[in-house]
A and B are shown apart, each in its own frame.
Chain A
């Protein structure tokens, strides 16, 4: 049994720990399927002439909540089965477009031993390194 398993995962977490980064490059098919699952018919997500000519975007817009979902995944993949996501907040600051490559990342900002909770800053960045969707999350670890 590893040391981590013996003492419980929470006790191994330190402020400053980085979450694994992940790369995303959604294409038209993924974007269509996502918006179809939601029943989101907004043309800016699938009608390129409309998005450019009527709304003035440079391309097809990636739906804002999809970036939010990736922030949730960023925390959950790091957590595994050791705890559960208690809350998350995020905002969509800069629009992103099909064809862009985006990156999720996160860092531990606080550990609360009394509740076995960890606070995290999470973020989606674009290729230029700009923050397109910042967020904060709280994860609660299971007591070992």
Chain B
């Protein structure tokens, strides 16, 4: 069942990425709210960040020569998997505190699991990454668990 997952691959579970600290700006909130079709004034005006704004705030900003030919940035938190075609997975997000322009937020990402399932069209590899977003006082603002599927 786990024939695609070597001991070496599984040893990557628990690996953490360098913390990423970013400033929340009114302009970035406005752009996010508009691009997602949000209809609430407080978000469109940038007075508060809408849910899932952190997805944009902490998407890796990489240089052009670090993008693969398909335009994807390589996530250095992840090991090299024997399957490489990424399918969109799922997210679980806990919202603990609201986010406002001027907030400095830090994201800490951990690779928390790797497992295999065998689907109708062949084997699939799942991995899970937990991202804790904290403010400068150390309060948890958002906890997000991403599950991605490779085929």
Contact = CB atoms under 8 A, between A and B. Distances in A.
A141 interface: no
A69 B90 contact: no
A19 interface: no
B56 interface: yes
A29 B60 CA distance: 22
Contact of B92 (A38, A65, A89): A89
A54 B12 CA distance: 30
A85 interface: yes
Contacts of A86: 94-95
A89 B72 contact: no
B95 A84 contact: yes
Interface stretch (A1-9, A10-18, A72-80, A112-120): A72-80
B51 A85 contact: yes
Interface string A100-136: 0000000000000000000000000000000000000
Interface in A67-101: 68-70, 72-73, 76-77, 84-92, 95
A40 B58 CA distance: 11
Contacts of A73: 36-39, 50-51
| Most chain B beta-carbon contacts within 10 A, residue among A47, A69, A92 | A69
Given A37-B32, A37-B56, A89-B93, A77 B72 contact: no
A30 B95 contact: no
Q: How many of chain B's residues touch chain A, expressed as a range?
A: 35 or more
A77 to B, nearest CB: 7
Nearest to A47: B71
A41 B91 contact: no
Interface residues of A, number: 39
A54 B68 CA distance: 14
Contacts of A87: 92-95
B35 interface: yes
A77 B13 CA distance: 38
Interface in B73-115: 73, 87-95, 98
Contacts of B87: 92
Contacts of B93: 87-89
B115 to A, nearest CB: 16
Interface in B5-45: 28, 31-32, 34-40
Contacts of A24: 37
A42 B35 contact: no
Given A66-B36, A85-B95, A42 B60 contact: no
Interface of B: 28, 31-32, 34-40, 50-52, 55-56, 59-62, 67, 70-73, 87-95, 98, 147
